[in-house]
């Protein structure tokens, strides 16, 4: 396993739309393992393949306190959305920035698991937010795009300044 580099906003690669995974094979399993190690080391509760410059429809989530309940979603699709919730979101690609975003309170998602088998999951609260946030990454969207242009520009300039300072 390896810790992968996480792309930082406003890197244009974060706006790449991910392609479906054609086959759940050894290479996909290796990517899942590397992404899990990366996510836990960051530390984060979700990571999309797009964030590590792999543009396939794969995301990982673990919202547990114990960080031992990794959930893998390959080629995820939201089948239903219900309700609304506002959550203060952060992102491993936008470190140190937390902003309120409105999302569905409950979703029904269908995906393939690490074993390649199709499953559906009803998610509420934080898990729902996390899946929606990571699925946005697969569509080339970063959570700051839900914010006003003024806030988004401030964040972009802050991130560019931090990157120049490295």
Q: Residue 6: inside a domain, yes or no? A: no
pLDDT interval class at 1 (50, 70, 90): confident
pLDDT 10s digits, 7-35:
999 999 999 999 999 999 999 999 999 99
Q: Residue 5: inside a domain, yes or no? A: no
Residues placed in the known binding site? 91, 133, 137
Q: Residue 49: inside a domain, yes or no? A: yes
Q: Residue 146: inside a domain, yes or no? A: yes
**Residue 51 pLDDT:** 98
Q: Residue 2: inside a domain, yes or no? A: no
Strand ranges for 7-165 from DSSP E: 46-48, 58-61, 71-82, 85-91, 94-103, 106-112, 118-124
How, if at all, do strands 118-124 and 71-82 pair?
unpaired
- The CATH number of the domain holding residue 129 is 3.90.45.10
Residues placed in the known binding site for Fe cation? 91, 133, 137
Rg (CA), the chain: 15
CA distances 166 to 51, 72, 80, 137, 146, Å, are 19, 33, 43, 25, 27
Q: Which domain holds residue 96?
A: 12-165
- The pTM of the full predicted model, rounded to 2 decimals, is 0.96
Active-site residues, by number, are 134
Q: Residue 1: inside a domain, yes or no? A: no
> Can you count the helices (H) and strands (E) in the chain?
3, 7
Q: Residue 4: inside a domain, yes or no? A: no
Residues 6+ apart with CB under 8 A from 146: 99, 101, 102
Of the CA atoms within 13 Å of residue 38, those in its CB half-sphere come to: 23
Q: Residue 3: inside a domain, yes or no? A: no
Q: Which two tokens stand for residue 10?
A: 């406003």
pLDDT 10s digits, 130-154:
999 999 999 999 999 999 999 999 9
Number of domains in the chain: 1
């Amino acid at each position: 396993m390896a810790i992968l580099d996480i792309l930082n906003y406003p890197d244009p690669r974060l706006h790449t739309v991910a392609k479906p995974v054609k086959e759940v094979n050894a290479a996909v399993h290796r990517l899942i393992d590397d992404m899990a190690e990366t996510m836990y080391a960051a530390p984060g509760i979700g990571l999309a393949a797009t964030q590590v410059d792999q543009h396939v429809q794969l995301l990982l989530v673990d919202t547990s306190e114990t960080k031992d309940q990794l959930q893998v979603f390959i080629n995820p699709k939201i089948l239903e959305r219900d309700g609304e919730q506002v959550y203060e979101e952060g992102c491993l690609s936008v470190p140190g920035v937390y902003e309120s975003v409105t999302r569905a309170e409950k979703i029904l998602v269908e995906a393939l698991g690490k074993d390649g088998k199709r499953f559906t999951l009803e998610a509420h609260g934080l898990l729902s937010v996390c899946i929606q946030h990571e699925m946005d990454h697969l569509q080339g969207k970063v959570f700051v795009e839900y914010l006003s242009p003024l806030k988004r520009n401030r964040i972009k300039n802050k991130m560019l300044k931090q990157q120049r300072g490295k």
